[in-house]
């Protein structure tokens, strides 16, 4: 496709440029380079034409719908926001209203209802509306898990006037763009727009995040991590539940509530000190704050591979969410040398070979020479193939899935070594990168092992070694030892055993949990029996010549044991550890102790 270039100045909106003054130009893929230059603002407020704007996620639409100016007036009073759940009737009522021009903002899933309502109206869908697909990079990035995002593209090319746009656009390989003579328009800032970012290479995400949020305890933190479950784990281990809020999809909100975390929402509002956001909030949404927050992005290649961020798209979009700027930007990531990826040539060969094989399998299936068993087997063979996810119903390759696969390979490559990610950040030209290494004596692989097998000898040995090293911290700058409290919260059972019997006794017992726990209980019992405060209280129960019944004495001692945390059942002769006494009988022939003296 032909490329064209234009400049934009600092603080200038696209609608204020010569190229956009009469509307977003048609049949263009627009690389606007910077978020927040008013692409949707122009279509919603400036241009006197009917428009349909496709936004990738619900939070974007909610943000536009609820946006207010300094006087409390709606910024976009005449728009209609359409979700999957919006009724066709509501859309029809808007189309019949006196609002001119019509400005409809919809998710990809809501577009089917928009189409139906327009077709039932006096409007011509393809002639009377300009169609703009905003944040078009999501077409490629999200299609592997959200196939419905492509629904508008079947109609997109039927519109007389149309464009796709993003600050982080990815050139699609869909041949229909070339067939309709689309051009690429690159919007280049005429000023220095690079943002400072610190890239932290680490072998321990949890401890690195703790260091990052402890550096400044005053402002708000916005932490971007594409896993609600991992977010919850981090919040619990950092003991920041009361100061945190999670912004994620409605389903994830419900899962977090079920897990005991209630401060989660699918809507961006009422921010806390620590704000965690999943991928639905990575792009397009506007976060308006009076202050400049610290932004932290997290990638955990070991626990959640889908947390890998693309510097060219995700990182640029995340930083661009904050319209009043940020205080700092940090990307914390571990790396995995075992990640495998394909070069673009290898990836395309893989898809091509798989696609040809799928056609052969389909030919075999269509022979109709099978009995029931053969028919079922051939169907299972086709449906079980990876390539089946890359094709439409007619077995034609879905080019967006192909582009997604190529992008996935590129992203994985960046997280094999830290140098790859560093190079990628520099290639974006959007960042000034500073790198640091936070290396700890326990790494994420150790933590993973502990999480999955808390009582296994291997996991216990890891925890015991950590606690032992904490007693003798190293001065070596690349072996920073993590907060001892974090380790103790992760594995309280093993920590308790360590505190009682110590590392070398645990090692002698081969880190076997049952053996160590038994030894720890006996040791703890002996130590608590020597507790001077407890001994004093037991010796104060009775005086010389008292005759408490044996049952009464046992019950009184048990109460004191419980008070001092001694998990031991009082036996008959335990009384004589604290008193000189002899057995006797009292009225009713009841067995009792006669106190003859106190033991010291």
**Residue 483 confidence class, pLDDT cut points 50, 70, 90:** low
Per-residue burial over 281-309, b if 16 or more Cβ lie within 10 Å, else e, is: bbbbbbbeeeeebbbbbbbbbbbeeebbb
- 476: pLDDT strictly greater than 70: no
**How high is the pLDDT of residue 452?**
76
Burial class from Cβ neighbours inside 10 Å (0-12, 13-18, 19+) for residue 197 reads: buried
- 98: pLDDT strictly greater than 90: yes
Instruction: Specify the range with the lowest mean pLDDT, choosing from 125-139, 484-498, 537-551.
Output: 484-498
**How high is the pLDDT of residue 480?**
55
Mean pLDDT across 554-581: 89
Q: Are strands 328-333 and 294-299 parallel, antiparallel or unpaired?
A: parallel
Whole-number percent of the chain with pLDDT over 90: 68
Instruction: Specify the range with the lowest mean pLDDT, choosing from 247-256, 259-268, 447-456, 503-512.
Output: 447-456
**How high is the pLDDT of residue 200?**
96
Distance CA 38, CA 41 (A): 5
Distance CA 298, CA 296 (A): 7
Considering only residues 328 and 526, tell me which one the structure prediction assigns the higher pLDDT. 328
**How high is the pLDDT of residue 368?**
67
Whole-number percent of the chain with pLDDT over 70: 97
Scan for tokens 């390759």, then name that residue: 397
Considering only residues 374 and 482, tell me which one the structure prediction assigns the higher pLDDT. 374
- Residue pair 497/248 in contact (Cβ under 8 Å)? The answer is no
**How high is the pLDDT of residue 526?**
85
**Model confidence pLDDT, tens digit, residues 148-162:** 899 899 899 999 999
- 478: pLDDT strictly greater than 60: no
CA geometry: angle at 14 spanning 11 and 16, to 5°?
80
**How high is the pLDDT of residue 473?**
59
Q: Which residues make Cβ contacts (< 8 Å) with residue 317, sequence separation at least 6?
A: 35, 135, 167, 168, 282, 283, 284
**How high is the pLDDT of residue 472?**
67
**Model confidence pLDDT, tens digit, residues 188-218:** 999 999 999 999 999 999 989 999 998 766 7
Helix (H) or strand (E) holding 195: strand 195-202
Considering only residues 125 and 527, tell me which one the structure prediction assigns the higher pLDDT. 125
Residue positions counted in the chain = 600
**Model confidence pLDDT, tens digit, residues 51-79:** 999 998 888 898 899 988 889 999 999 99
- Residue pair 469/481 in contact (Cβ under 8 Å)? The answer is yes
Q: Bin 116: left if φ > 0, else alpha if -120 < ψ < 50, else beta.
A: alpha
Q: Mean pLDDT, the chain, as a whole number?
A: 91
**Model confidence pLDDT, tens digit, residues 447-467:** 777 777 788 998 899 889 888
């Amino acid at each position: 496709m032909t490329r064209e270039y234009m400049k934009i100045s600092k603080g200038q909106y696209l609608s204020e440029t010569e190229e956009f003054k009469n509307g977003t130009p048609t049949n263009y893929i627009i690389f606007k380079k910077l978020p927040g230059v008013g692409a949707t603002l122009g279509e919603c407020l400036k241009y006197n034409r009917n428009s349909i704007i496709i936004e990738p996620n619900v939070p974007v639409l909610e943000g536009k719908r609820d946006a207010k100016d300094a006087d409390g007036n709606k910024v976009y009073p005449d728009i209609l926001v359409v979700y999957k759940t919006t009724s066709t009737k509501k859309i029809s009522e808007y189309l019949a209203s006196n609002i001119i021009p019509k400005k409809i903002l919809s998710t990809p899933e809501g577009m089917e209802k928009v189409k139906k309502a327009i077709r039932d109206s006096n409007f011509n869908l393809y002639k009377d509306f300009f169609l703009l697909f905003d944040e078009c990079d999501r077409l490629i990035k999200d299609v592997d898990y959200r196939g419905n995002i492509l629904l508008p593209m079947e109609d997109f090319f039927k519109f007389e006037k149309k464009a796709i746009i993003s600050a982080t656009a990815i050139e699609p390989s869909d041949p229909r763009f070339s067939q309709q003579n689309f051009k690429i328009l690159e919007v280049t800032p005429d000023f220095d727009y690079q943002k400072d970012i610190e890239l932290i290479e680490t072998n321990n995400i949890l401890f690195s995040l703790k260091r990052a949020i402890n550096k400044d305890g005053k402002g708000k933190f916005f932490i971007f991590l594409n896993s609600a479950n991992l977010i919850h784990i981090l919040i619990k281990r950092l003991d920041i539940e009361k100061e945190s809020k999670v912004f994620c999809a409605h389903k994830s909100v419900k899962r977090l509530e079920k897990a005991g975390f209630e401060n989660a929402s699918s809507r961006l509002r009422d921010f806390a000190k620590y704000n965690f956001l999943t991928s639905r909030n990575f792009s397009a949404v506007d976060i308006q704050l009076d202050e400049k927050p610290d932004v932290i992005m997290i990638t955990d290649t070991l626990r959640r591979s889908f947390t890998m961020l693309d510097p060219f798209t995700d990182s640029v979009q995340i930083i661009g969410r904050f319209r009043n700027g940020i205080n700092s930007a940090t990307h914390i990531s571990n790396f995995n040398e075992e990640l495998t990826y394909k070069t673009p040539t290898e990836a395309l060969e893989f898809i091509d070979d798989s696609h040809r094989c799928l056609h052969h399998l389909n030919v075999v299936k269509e022979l109709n020479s099978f009995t029931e068993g053969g028919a079922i087997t051939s169907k299972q063979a086709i449906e079980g193939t990876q390539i089946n996810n890359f094709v439409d119903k007619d077995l034609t390759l879905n080019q967006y899935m192909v582009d997604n696969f190529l992008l996935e390979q590129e992203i994985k490559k960046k997280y094999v070594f830290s140098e790859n990610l560093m190079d990628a950040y520099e290639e974006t030209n959007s960042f000034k990168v500073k790198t640091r290494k936070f290396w700890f004596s326990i790494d994420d692989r150790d933590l993973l092992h502990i999480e999955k097998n808390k009582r296994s000898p291997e996991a216990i040995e890891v925890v015991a070694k950590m606690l032992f090293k904490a007693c003798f911290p190293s001065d070596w700058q690349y072996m920073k030892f993590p907060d001892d409290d974090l380790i103790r919260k992760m594995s309280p059972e093993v920590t308790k055993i360590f505190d009682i019997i110590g590392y070398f006794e645990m090692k002698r017992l081969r880190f076997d949990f049952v053996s160590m726990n038994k030894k720890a209980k006996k040791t703890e019992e002996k130590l608590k029996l020597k507790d001077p405060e407890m001994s004093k209280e037991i010796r104060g129960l009775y005086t010389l010549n008292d005759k408490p019944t044996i049952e009464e004495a046992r019950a009184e001692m048990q109460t004191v044991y419980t008070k001092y945390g001694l998990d031991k059942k009082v036996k008959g002769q335990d009384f004589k550890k604290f008193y000189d006494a002899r057995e006797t009988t009292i009225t009713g022939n009841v067995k009792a102790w006669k106190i003859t003296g106190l033991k010291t």
